[in-house]
Chains A and B, each alone.
Chain A
């Protein structure tokens, strides 16, 4: 059953909405962990699904996959934790230690990259504008397409492209690259 059918069914039988949680909560949770850290991730996911449930009457049922819609709600909630998110990037940039990965990865053999790019990259993420960071991370961490990102943020696809282009230029500059042709657009 497609997500849209689940949402439609939940209009009559609200408990059907739990299926959407089972399908997407874990993916959203990991995304939030990467942006904010584990301490706030569960609350953000809970708030995402509570808001989604309240707003499900407005869902465009012709969109079969609800994940972009849920990412959009999550992104709005992450926006209210912007300072905490930026603090995390700055801590990584300053110390090279990532409190997010360490806190959430007790069971994982964390083969953390020793790459020298992590610190300038984190510093660059901290400096991006909110809209640029949202687009960049929805595409690179959320695995959304340009179109899905546009749906998630409720902006035109052209805005997604321009924000991503600006974000990548800034990232490339922070990493020491100045040749704009190195920034290859990915579909």
Chain B
């Protein structure tokens, strides 16, 4: 840990501020705002020339009225109810998660502690045949394995133990140094969803993906790797639920646990799901499912529709003192 990291760590245990901390400040700001009357837009005046019978020409003033010519989908006969309904459900799910999180305690590790996550993985053998890809997780087959991961509290080091392994592999830094999910970073994120969305847009602007996809990818990384506290987790669900074309569906995760998936679709015909426990709102896992539409030479174009490409289940998470420890 260098000197700047030590400064970052100082008072990093201060919790994130929330609405209740800002009642008086909001009132003062609104008072200041209310004291300034709205500026009435200057309406464009036109000169209209009108003839008044045979009396000659009179110049009159008039107001140009701009009429909106837009029509919504219902007027064009396009049925958008299912999409609209599912977005509403995703937001409802996020609202419930927010309410449940309000009374929960924030727990983050110290900079020198580690976040432990144990996961089960499944990858489609149709996409990556075992003859091509050896069992990367050390499991009996290449398509199903378990791995344990540790991320240091300051995000500077990670470690991994594959299924059946007796040793851990340590690695300096994260997979992508541009993407952070360490506790100090998580504590710096706002809990207010619109502010959180803007912050995530800014933090992912270096990723060469469309904005919404970059944001959803970062949210998934934070949820899976960072194991955020309940209030931040609920705020992340809210942001996710407000992205375009989001839906929800009851699903079972890799371990057969019933959950609710918040899903989005990418350009290659992949449905990306985040699976949430509907009672505790903790993250159960995530899936990528091919829903069709990919064209050659996309690696997905040969897959049958509905094929689960990858599925990940969070088996257990916790905070430990050293890499290699388990909760």
A residues sitting closer than 8 Å to B (CB atoms) are 2-3, 11-15, 17-19, 21-27, 29-30, 33-34, 38, 41-43, 45-46, 49-50, 53-54, 65, 98, 100-101, 104-105, 107-113, 115, 117-118, 121-122, 125, 136-137, 139-141, 143, 168, 171-172, 175, 177, 182-184, 186
> CB-CB < 8 A to B39: which residues of A?
11-13
In the bound assembly, the distance between CA atoms of A38 and B25 in angstroms comes to 13
> CB-CB < 8 A to B21: which residues of A?
26, 29, 38, 41-42
Contact (Cβ within 8 A) A112 B16 = no
Contact (Cβ within 8 A) B13 A112 = yes
> CB-CB < 8 A to B15: which residues of A?
30, 104-105, 107-108
> CB-CB < 8 A to A143: which residues of B?
185, 188
Contact (Cβ within 8 A) A27 B195 = yes
Residue of A at shortest CB range from B202?
Answer: A65
What's the minimum C-beta distance from B33 to chain A, rounded to whole angstroms?
A: 5
> CB-CB < 8 A to A26: which residues of B?
16-19, 21-22, 190-192, 195
Known contacts: A27-B190, A111-B109, A177-B3. The answer to whether A105 contacts B13 by CB under 8 A is yes
> CB-CB < 8 A to B2: which residues of A?
182-184
Contact (Cβ within 8 A) A25 B22 = yes
Q: Is B30 an interface residue (CB 8 A)?
A: yes
The size class of the interface chain B forms with chain A is 35 or more
In the bound assembly, the distance between CA atoms of A17 and B38 in angstroms comes to 12
Contact (Cβ within 8 A) B4 A23 = no
Contact with A along B50-68 (1 / 0, CB 8 A): 0000000000000000000
> CB-CB < 8 A to A30: which residues of B?
14-17, 187-188
Find A50's partner among B32, B187, B195 (CB 8 Å cutoff): B32
Q: Is B83 an interface residue (CB 8 A)?
A: no
Contact (Cβ within 8 A) B22 A168 = no
Q: Is B112 an interface residue (CB 8 A)?
A: yes
Contact (Cβ within 8 A) B11 A27 = no
> CB-CB < 8 A to A98: which residues of B?
11
> CB-CB < 8 A to A137: which residues of B?
7
Q: Is B76 an interface residue (CB 8 A)?
A: no
Q: Please list the 7 inter-chain residue pairs (A to B) with the smallest Cβ-Cβ separation, ordered nearest first.
A: A46-B25, A23-B195, A29-B17, A46-B28, A26-B17, A49-B29, A140-B7
Find B25's partner among A12, A49, A183 (CB 8 Å cutoff): A49
In the bound assembly, the distance between CA atoms of A25 and B202 in angstroms comes to 17
Residue of A at shortest CB range from B32?
Answer: A50
In the bound assembly, the distance between CA atoms of A33 and B21 in angstroms comes to 11
Q: Is B105 an interface residue (CB 8 A)?
A: yes
> CB-CB < 8 A to B118: which residues of A?
none
Q: Is B106 an interface residue (CB 8 A)?
A: yes
Find A23's partner among B32, B33, B192 (CB 8 Å cutoff): B192
Contact with A along B275-300 (1 / 0, CB 8 A): 00000000000000000000000000
In the bound assembly, the distance between CA atoms of A33 and B11 in angstroms comes to 9
Contact (Cβ within 8 A) A3 B3 = no
> CB-CB < 8 A to B110: which residues of A?
111-113
> CB-CB < 8 A to A27: which residues of B?
17, 188, 190, 195, 199
